Amino acid sequence: MSEEIRRREKYNNLHRTEPLRFPLEDYPYFYSCLNLPKPATGLRLLDIACGQGFFLEAAEKYGTDLELHGLDFSEVALNYAKSRVSKAKLQIGSAYDLPYKDKYFDYCVNLGSLEHFDEPIRALQEVHRVLKPTGKAMIIVPNQYYLGTIWKVLSFGEGEDQGQDSVTDFRTLKNWTSLFLASNLDVLGVNAYNGEDHIAWYFKRKNGKISDEEKFLRGILNIVIKPIIPLNLCQCFIFILRRQPQIY
């Protein structure tokens, strides 16, 4: 069995048991980070590694004029996505060989998947290829030195692997930026993202259950700590990118 087939079967099995998503309430925020015009008639957006279609679902709701496309290598994920979205054009395929024409999309997104690619530059070069010269890409990636990871190392001697037994690439803000630049993508902006579970690192449970006391403490810490976490220590980075301009 090839490595590609093994990885596909692994993710097929994961999608059968887990949604593999960010908190649902955060997808409208992710969509807003693209700052799309209204109306968005005639604009095309591609969600690479779209999974079960959670971002596309939000895009259908808030960007009704968009032409939406989603691609994933897991047929199980796409079957779930088909039940979630009604307008998006879904296709099975590889992020390393996107089945689209050059300069076809106005927007490309990849949410929480690039860190699991064993050839990230190859995937980013495909983003560059299919993105229009005036287009934008949004890529969400994890921070190597997230505040929660630092706490876990100090308190419990544990790092962060996102529960994955394959590639999980954690980088700093500077190192992610260098990767994008090496793929001929310029950084237009970076937002910090600290999700619903960002404060879970504070707690160490024996039975795996969240007590009422913990829920209360998490609420307090969420209000106090979350707004003041600096960009360099946030959970994930939301990068807004564009193709590097050609120099003649």
Q: Of all residues in the chain, what percent carry a pLDDT higher than 70?
A: 92
For residues 9 and 218, which has the higher predicted lDDT (pLDDT)?
Answer: 9
pLDDT value, residue 108: 98
In this model, does residue 1 exceed pLDDT 60? no
Q: Quick check: is 203 in a domain?
A: no
CATH code (residue 135): 3.40.50.150
pLDDT digits (tens, 9 = 90+) for 96-155: 999 999 999 999 999 999 999 999 999 999 999 999 999 999 999 999 999 888 888 888
DSSP secondary structure, 52-112, as one string: TSHHHHHHHHH-TTSEEEEEES-HHHHHHHHHH-SS-EEEE--TTS-SS-TT-EEEEEEES
How many structural domains is the chain composed of? 1
Could you tell me if residue 26 is inside a domain? yes
Give the type of residue at 82. K
Per the CB < 8 A criterion, the answer to whether 243 and 136 are in contact is: no
Taking the whole predicted model, whether its pTM rises above 0.95 is answered as: no
Q: Which domain holds residue 12?
A: 3-143+168-194+234-243
Query: Is residue 149 assigned to a domain?
Result: no
Q: Mean pLDDT in the chain?
A: 90
pLDDT, position 158: 81
69-101 tens-digit pLDDT: 999 999 999 999 999 999 999 999 999 999 999
In a domain, 224, yes or no: no
* Residue 207 placed within a domain: no
